[in-house]
Structure 1
Amino acid sequence: MDPPGPGPARRCQGHPGSPHPHGTLMNKTRLPAVRERRYPSDTTDAEWAVLEPLLPVPACELPTGGRPEKHPRRNVVDAIRYVNDNGCKWRAVPVDFGIPWRTVYGFFQRWRGSGDLARIFAELHQMVRVHDGLNPRTVAVILDSQSVKGAETVGQDTRGFDGEKLINGRKRHLAVDMRGMPLAVMVTPASPHDSIPARDQLFRLRLAHPELAVAWADSAYGGTLVDWSHSFLGITLKTVPRRKDQDGFAVLAKRWRVERAISWIMRARRNVRDYERLISHSEAHITWIFITLMARHLTRPPRPPRTTPHPVEPVKAASKPKPIRLRRIQPQTIRLTPAALP
């Protein structure tokens, strides 16, 4: 691929310490050629066409000004996805990306802290739904959590012990729509019961998605949480219990969609165990996985709607013939007021 050529002249504001604080007229610098795609985590041309317009505007193009970026952003995104997919350390970023590891980590941290990563995540979710012929805003979600072990880099103040799963680490709380596309990600210590951080998760969902009306979850989200979500948030929370004869894991109605999304998280080796010192960085790594997933989804033909229900899903009542009920209509008695009498 040919390197991007020089663009029209523009004025980039000087950065602190620059000899030209009021800005200098310069031509757009020629960035190095985009490297050859050689890793499975690299972006394809179609994926980059989806992601590039969603990235934040470079600092030198903002009114506040800044230094022009030295490295192509596609190489930066590929390096972040490489770390996420292969689970290596930031210091172990391959040299063929042509970017120092501190620069890659700087972009990762800056986009996460500025909220641009969450914005890209939300916009891609709406684009995926429109791509599949659905309303961009969903009214139903499915909730679930996953406990993962924490490495020695995870501090005691951000980790806990899950007595049910016997895991010392953190817990990931996930919300997906009815097609399994991720909607919200939250990471907490593993010690609290699912119903406690679920209040914070549902509250965030209500703020970001006012149209949300119903949510499905397992029995751990039942009890007082059902009444609380209906009274304070206006969300109808329904639980999907385990089967009476269930022994171990089983595919259950509604819940299989969020279980599949959790399996997508585990495909990236960085997320097999939690290594991050900050909870916000753990959420960012999971967000990058779903950004990659949704970008690839947008490069493929739309997924046709399912013509037959899933084997574990109950058959809708609309497909069954409705019973005919015969009611005897009682004659209505007309009463006249005293003013209407002669």
Structure 2
Amino acid sequence: MKKNSSIVLILFASLMYTLSYASDDSNSEEKAFKLSEVDTPPRVTKAIPPIYPKKKTIDGLILTEGRVILKFIVTKDGRVSNPEIIEAVPEGIFEASAIGAVKNYRFTPATKNGEPVDCIAKLPIMFVLPGVNTPYDVYQAAQKGLKFLKVGEYDNAVKAFDEAIKISKKYGPGYSGRGMAYMYLKEYEKAIVDFDMAIKKSGKTALNYKLRGEVFNALKDYNTAIKDFDRAIKIEPEMLEAYFERGNAFRNLEKYIEAIADYTKVIELDKNYLQAYNNRAVAYNKLNDSENMCLDLKKACNLGDCRGLELAQKAGKCSADVAGN
């Protein structure tokens, strides 16, 4: 991507782990795999900058940026199939351009058992007008921050995202990234401030609400955390991490029935989500439902974590012949 291109395409997903994946089972996606079902995910090899739409104002305000989240299938030959809009901010401006661009994307396809396969993907795309706060420099600084996050160098990540925010105080993903770094550093109050700013600058995205909810969970402010997870789920009804974290909040509030419902939803979305079985087992145990507790511990053991089952058996529960789901 050239710094002086007429439109700068910023992939917000590159900051937040490049691609996220849907778990939708609609008819058009029956033959496509979920992320949990493939061995390696698809990777972008060619990204086409979208054409900035002619309509650049809304309610008299000049639009300097916008965001569209798309869902599509990356086919086994690395092309895009069945693109659709999940979210657009603002609505009615950037959707057609985003779809037109993503149709020309190319990917290294997902693989399963060494063979390329179709995979369901979601990709957020941000539009930025040329000359606005040198967005390419912002993007480069944010990429540095992402690399530091991935290797656990959180202090350096904070510095890199500081640089991105210094270049453009409007760059919402910079606040999201720095908020994550502060969260991992357990500087929770700073993390909340950054996620507040990310929500203000990037719009009300499910990811930012989910991340802020995690911070409130860490602060043991479970009721506030639940409100953020509610918001995340309203925006993205299949965000399994939001259900999982909300389940944890309910469990800590001793609302075990609600916790079980959320862990069950996580398992519906990803049957191999090991920790959901362990946590649901804990909730069942609190309700004195030993049968379902043992079934979940057995399933967790089948997925590779037998510690809970072994502890239960030492306590005289969960006989060896208990079968998993």
Q: Same fold (TM over 0.5)?
A: no
Larger RCO, structures 1/2 (Cα 8 Å, 6+ apart): 1
Q: TM-score, length-normalised on structure 2?
A: 0.30
Larger-gyration structure (1/2):
1
Higher helix share: 2
